A and B are shown apart, each in its own frame.
Chain A
Amino acid sequence: MIGQRIPSKVLLIGTILVVAVILALGVAPKASTVAQGDASSWQAIAEQRGLTEADMRAAAMTYTPSGVMDEYVMFASAGQGGQVLAIGLPSMRLLRLISVFAPEPWQGYGYGAGNEILEQGFIDGQEILWGDTHHPALSETNGEYDGNWLFIGDKANGRVAVIDLRDFETKQIVHNPAFMNDHGGTFVTPNTEYIVEGGQYGLPLGAEYAPIADYQTAYSGMITFWKFDKEAGRIDFENSFAMELPPYWQDLCDSGKGVSEGWVFCNSFNAEMATGGIESGNPPFEAGVSRGAVDYLHIINLEAAEAVFAAGGAVDVNGFKVIPLETAIENQLLYLAPEPRSPHGADVTPRGDFISIGGKLDPHVSVYSFQKIQDAIAAGTSETDVFGVPVLALESVLEAQVELGLGPLHTVYDDQGYAYTSLFLDSAVARWSIGAEGYRPQDGWSLINKTPVQYNVGHLAAAEGDTATPDGRFLVALNKWSVDRFLSTGPLLPQNLQLIDISQPGDQTQILYDLPITGAEPHYAQIIKADKLHAWEVYPEVGWDPVTQSVSPNAVLQGTEGITRDGNNVNVRMTAVRSHMTPEHVEIMAGDHVTWTITNVERARDATHGFAIPYYNINLSIEPGESITFEFEATRAGVFSFYCTEFCSALHLEMMGYMMVRPE
């Protein structure tokens, strides 16, 4: 009815309007393009992914665009994997795995390259092809990291390795044959005169046999002082020495610095001298070791010990010089101070004036004053332990105790006068103020805040945190458990390294990034400013032997390749360059002893070649300029296709050759 009354003119106008609207909508892509632009903005992405403002702040603090370098490098142990990891901060990108105590096929380590380094770590002819790396220590000059060397201990077999930071490769492994294990190592003295390796479990000296019933009389503790020859870049075995300690299970050590330079401090956790034996109805170690109310902080006068060693005060134990406990007592090299039961860590403050000990089973961190220790030593004490080691009264040396929470373990420091202690049971990091002059006297000795971490934090690492001048800014919590932090990859879970922002004062601390570590358990780490490291881009000269860090006398240069024979000894001299090896045919006889040298004559950065001989368990990584010599017995006749195992060029697959072993 109404329609009938609409004039055709109105209809026409209406139709035009409708068409116009449809056309307008058709042009609407403009508007929707704008909407899409919004959807791809970082704000929209953050909203879509549910990222909070704090998350975006964390991203802004850590995201490192391609080609931009990190500010710090963290060297973290890789626990029972036996290696060391280099990680960039703040990106938390894994930069390098350093082969130390275990073979590492992709680096050729133990498969033709670096075999002599691994062999240095064999004990009495026994092959040992793993380690339990615990505490990396960067070399220091005047109490500051100098970026030259890195040291790392193997808890299981009591060994120490030296890593050259020019090529990030292991150069030396040493073992104190007087003792089996370590934990309080490695720690360096402020000018890297010594690398300190504290032992852990009490043992008979020289790894001899002694019944457990004779624990108190036949078992010992030990601390080793490895003399480092900076010129040679190697540990000087002959000028290194150890000191026998009571079998108290020394734990973590630290070198004094500043006012306390020349002294070394170690906590311990079995003053009870418990011997376990749960199967015989005895309290298990975990109970027996924790029974007593106190354990002992060990206070060692290294400077005096060095003099006693120089004066011939050490005895030979299994080929190593050891200062016996009686000599140490006689010469006042060792003092003890009570500490709350079964603690962890003995961490010297940046100025060297205090030592913090985490309570572990006690909720406090106990802070000892070096000055008070000196005063107490000067005043003298009549109290001793059962071995006659003088014991200083706790109240005479204790500066402060701060209640932090459950399971305080390890303490590091920053540039604002705060200390950070990991709380294993609380799964948190406690920030507390050092109430002394030069730190934060305005806050007194007090707990500031606790940052929850995920989960079961062991050690902490702060940027340059155990030097004389910590940088602050970043802290890394080395968490033992990750539980629900990452996608499940089955029952074996990664460790979780969490980067924490500590740049702001007070309770403003924030977790920035989680890094899953699948290369075994990092126990401890050190974080160095990246500009202190001066790693080579390629080896300095063609024919370089990284073991000696000099040109190898065996180096093969282009034009000097060939195969020579002397009786059953065959010498293969080979070069590798994109994309061929010379020679490509290597003809030998079954039963030959083969000495094979291969030089990567490349000078371009990253032009690494691999080299593998199948069935002979040989694989190398030959970096630009590097020369490697390996030997084997040609036990198996046949034709073996050797080839380059690191993709080097467009003709990488063609980079191969045949080793023909004629039957005898």
Chain B
Amino acid sequence: MTANTMSKASVSAVESSRPSGLARLLRWLPSVLFILAGVLLFVSINQPYWGLVLQAPQYPGGLQMRVFVNNMTGDDDPRLDEVREIDGLNHYIGMKSLYEAAKLERSIAIPAVILMAVMLAVAAVWRRRWTWLLAVPAMLFPFIFLADLAYWMANFGQNLDPYAPLSSSIQPFVPPVLGEGVIGQFKTVAYVDTGWYIIITGSALILVGVLIRVVGMVRARG
């Protein structure tokens, strides 16, 4: 069956059955929510997902790092590249360069986001019994992101160069993905940022959409 005949079929189905207002809303709402979630995914690309503030006496304003879906930057003040600065400090404890972290993930991030959005769009317009599954990756994305981040932080924290200058002062550690930690003279505060809040909102929308669809299908079958 081609997409054309399919949509004609659904249109005629809608016309013939003439469901109530609420039923109509419930039928279309998941698609609207999926599309909205897809838009939010795109919007999130320009926003930081996660942030880390490092505070130490010799950096009175603190050092701020922001992680985007495919990128790492410092704060908005262009005078100091915080990522480079943190990287420079990390060599004292034997940590690998931050630019080495999640290289694969960062390189495929944008295509992956586009793919997830396309899958959402397909799930929105192609209302088959199983197509809600296409929305699942996007729904899980915020958690996948944090899990991957936690993996890399543990990986980097655990794999310190044993010959690094401060190796006797700073033992391998697992930095917290959220909340406060301490590394040497630095106090760290990690938090999720705007981008992550945007995609978690998307996840909530998808969840609602999926539930409506799945429950609707179950009821229709029942």
Q: Which residue numbers of A lie inside 8 Å of B, CB to CB?
A: 537-538, 577-579, 602-606, 649-651, 654
Write out, one digit per residue, whether chain B residues 5-27 have a CB within 8 A of any chain A CB (1) or not (0): 00000000000000000000000
B85 to chain A: which residues have CB within 8 Å?
Answer: 603-604
B88 to chain A: which residues have CB within 8 Å?
Answer: 577-578, 602
| 13 CB < 8 A contacts A-B | A537-B79, A577-B88, A578-B88, A579-B92, A602-B88, A603-B79, A603-B80, A603-B85, A605-B80, A606-B58, A650-B92, A650-B165, A651-B165
CA A604 to CA B80, docked complex, whole Å:
6
Return the contact of A650 from the options B59, B81, B84, B166 (Cβ within 8 A): B166
CA A603 to CA B79, docked complex, whole Å:
7
- Do A603 and B81 have beta carbons less than 8 Å apart? yes
Write out, one digit per residue, whether chain B residues 88-124 have a CB within 8 A of any chain A CB (1) or not (0): 1000100000000000000000000000000000000
CA A537 to CA B80, docked complex, whole Å:
10
- Do B165 and A603 have beta carbons less than 8 Å apart? no
Measured CB to CB, the nearest residue on chain B to A536 is B79
A605 to chain B: which residues have CB within 8 Å?
Answer: 80
Instruction: Please name 10 further chain A to chain B contacts, defined as beta carbons within 8 Å, in addition to the given A578-B88, A651-B165, sorted by A numbering.
Output: A602-B88, A603-B79, A603-B81, A603-B85, A604-B80, A604-B85, A605-B80, A649-B92, A650-B166, A654-B165
A380 to chain B, nearest CB (A): 62
B191 to chain A, nearest CB (A): 23
A537 to chain B: which residues have CB within 8 Å?
Answer: 79
CA A485 to CA B189, docked complex, whole Å:
51
B84 to chain A: which residues have CB within 8 Å?
Answer: 603
B80 to chain A: which residues have CB within 8 Å?
Answer: 538, 603-605
Contact A538/B79 with A578-B88, A603-B84, A651-B92 known, Cβ cut-off 8 Å: yes
Measured CB to CB, the nearest residue on chain B to A558 is B84
Measured CB to CB, the nearest residue on chain A to B84 is A603
Measured CB to CB, the nearest residue on chain A to B60 is A67
B92 to chain A: which residues have CB within 8 Å?
Answer: 579, 649-651
Task: Please provide the chain B residues from 30 to 88 with a CB less than 8 Å away from any CB of chain A in the complex.
Answer: 58-59, 79-81, 84-85, 88
Chief secondary structure at chain B's binding surface: loop
B59 to chain A: which residues have CB within 8 Å?
Answer: 604
Write out, one digit per residue, whether chain B residues 161-199 have a CB within 8 A of any chain A CB (1) or not (0): 000011000000000000000000000000000000000
Chief secondary structure at chain A's binding surface: loop
CA A605 to CA B85, docked complex, whole Å:
11
CA A505 to CA B48, docked complex, whole Å:
58
CA A650 to CA B185, docked complex, whole Å:
12
CA A538 to CA B78, docked complex, whole Å:
11
CA A654 to CA B92, docked complex, whole Å:
12
- A-B pairs, 4 with minimum CB distance: A603-B80, A604-B85, A651-B165, A603-B81
CA A538 to CA B85, docked complex, whole Å:
14
B65 to chain A, nearest CB (A): 14
B186 to chain A, nearest CB (A): 13
A565 to chain B, nearest CB (A): 31
CA A649 to CA B85, docked complex, whole Å:
13
B93 to chain A, nearest CB (A): 11
A649 to chain B: which residues have CB within 8 Å?
Answer: 92
Measured CB to CB, the nearest residue on chain A to B169 is A650
B183 to chain A, nearest CB (A): 14
Measured CB to CB, the nearest residue on chain B to A606 is B58
CA A579 to CA B91, docked complex, whole Å:
10
B77 to chain A, nearest CB (A): 10
B81 to chain A: which residues have CB within 8 Å?
Answer: 603
Write out, one digit per residue, whether chain B residues 135-154 have a CB within 8 A of any chain A CB (1) or not (0): 00000000000000000000
A650 to chain B: which residues have CB within 8 Å?
Answer: 92, 165-166
B140 to chain A, nearest CB (A): 38
Measured CB to CB, the nearest residue on chain A to B185 is A650
Measured CB to CB, the nearest residue on chain B to A624 is B80
B59 to chain A, nearest CB (A): 8
A604 to chain B: which residues have CB within 8 Å?
Answer: 59, 80, 85
CA A602 to CA B88, docked complex, whole Å:
9
CA A606 to CA B88, docked complex, whole Å:
15
CA A447 to CA B80, docked complex, whole Å:
55
B58 to chain A: which residues have CB within 8 Å?
Answer: 606
B168 to chain A, nearest CB (A): 12
Of listed A577, A579, A604, residue having the most chain B CB within 10 A: A604
CA A340 to CA B85, docked complex, whole Å:
65
A603 to chain B: which residues have CB within 8 Å?
Answer: 79-81, 84-85
Measured CB to CB, the nearest residue on chain B to A577 is B88
CA A71 to CA B152, docked complex, whole Å:
48
B166 to chain A: which residues have CB within 8 Å?
Answer: 650
CA A651 to CA B89, docked complex, whole Å:
11
CA A42 to CA B32, docked complex, whole Å:
70
A579 to chain B: which residues have CB within 8 Å?
Answer: 92
Of listed A602, A603, A650, A651, residue having the most chain B CB within 10 A: A603
A543 to chain B, nearest CB (A): 14
B115 to chain A, nearest CB (A): 35
A85 to chain B, nearest CB (A): 26
B88 to chain A, nearest CB (A): 6
CA A410 to CA B81, docked complex, whole Å:
50
CA A537 to CA B60, docked complex, whole Å:
14
A606 to chain B, nearest CB (A): 8
Measured CB to CB, the nearest residue on chain B to A67 is B60
CA A455 to CA B162, docked complex, whole Å:
64
Measured CB to CB, the nearest residue on chain B to A578 is B88
CA A649 to CA B89, docked complex, whole Å:
10
CA A604 to CA B92, docked complex, whole Å:
16
CA A651 to CA B91, docked complex, whole Å:
11
Measured CB to CB, the nearest residue on chain B to A580 is B91
CA A651 to CA B165, docked complex, whole Å:
8
CA A579 to CA B92, docked complex, whole Å:
9
B89 to chain A, nearest CB (A): 8
Measured CB to CB, the nearest residue on chain B to A605 is B80
Measured CB to CB, the nearest residue on chain B to A649 is B92
A599 to chain B, nearest CB (A): 14
A575 to chain B, nearest CB (A): 12
A602 to chain B: which residues have CB within 8 Å?
Answer: 88
Measured CB to CB, the nearest residue on chain B to A651 is B165
A578 to chain B, nearest CB (A): 6
CA A606 to CA B85, docked complex, whole Å:
13
B135 to chain A, nearest CB (A): 43
CA A373 to CA B113, docked complex, whole Å:
81
CA A238 to CA B166, docked complex, whole Å:
58
B91 to chain A, nearest CB (A): 9
Measured CB to CB, the nearest residue on chain A to B80 is A603
CA A577 to CA B88, docked complex, whole Å:
8
A264 to chain B, nearest CB (A): 42
CA A649 to CA B91, docked complex, whole Å:
12
